[in-house]
Amino acid sequence: MLGMAKGKGIDSAGHEIMLTISLILGLLAVSPAAQAVDHVARGQTGNWSLLTGTNNTYYQTWANNNIFLVGDVLVFNYTVGGHDVVRYSRKTEFDNCARVTLQRWTSGADRIVLNSTGFFYCICSIPGHCETGGGMKLSIHVTTTRAVAPTPPHNGTLVAPSASPTTPARSAANPSPNQSISGLVAAAILPGAAFVV
């Protein structure tokens, strides 16, 4: 019997292997990459689109009700040529729907990896889409914890996320799929770890 010594249980090498496996699985269960979330910016049509009626703060309200963590992905789906995504480094540029940009995406399926903390400002730069009537703008605060995001500073400078281009807030009542899996992995590991020790 491999790993057994006269019916006394797992030998030293077996103990170390089980402990190592438990440790690796435990680390994978709590790693930020395992918990990254795609946040899809959905307007009234289900995509990044012009807002109709008087609800021109829809995207900002959506952003305010989400928690954005380093490693998460901000997703914008839209009709190519009809919209775009532009990122600003300063809130004043965002507030004024400025035409000077830090980055611009035009693929229609943009995925922006949020790989650093700080404020992130984005709009649709098509004339009339960002301004008051169009409402295609949002600012988010990317953090490393689940704490509630603060209000963006009036003249704050962005600590820029990466260039690559959201989803209900995470909570105990609404965990991300990866959080649910992490919990299952942890539940499976703990009894095994207790057995090994």
94-129, pLDDT tens digit by residue?
Answer: 999 987 778 999 999 999 999 999 999 999 999 888
In a domain, 158, yes or no: yes
Rounded CA-CA distance 70/47 in Å is 23
In a domain, 195, yes or no: yes
Query: Smallest Cα–Cα separation from 114: which of 39, 191, 41?
Result: 39
In a domain, 123, yes or no: yes
**pTM of the shown model:** 0.59
Sequence-distant (6+) residues with CB within 8 A of 166 are 37, 38, 39, 40, 41, 62, 63, 66, 68, 72, 74, 75, 140
Hey, is 87 helix, strand or coil? strand
CATH number at residue 44: 2.60.40.420
In a domain, 18, yes or no: no
In a domain, 3, yes or no: no
The model's pLDDT over 152-183, given as tens digits with 9 standing for 90+, comes to: 544 444 333 443 333 444 443 344 444 444 44
Domain that holds residue 158: 35-169+176-197
Q: Would you say residue 28 has pLDDT above 90?
A: no
Q: Report the Cα–Cα distance between both ends of the chain, in Å, rounded.
A: 20
In a domain, 17, yes or no: no
In a domain, 8, yes or no: no
Domain count, the chain: 1
The model's pLDDT over 66-98, given as tens digits with 9 standing for 90+, comes to: 999 999 999 999 999 999 999 998 899 999 998
As a residue count, the chain comes to: 197
In a domain, 100, yes or no: yes
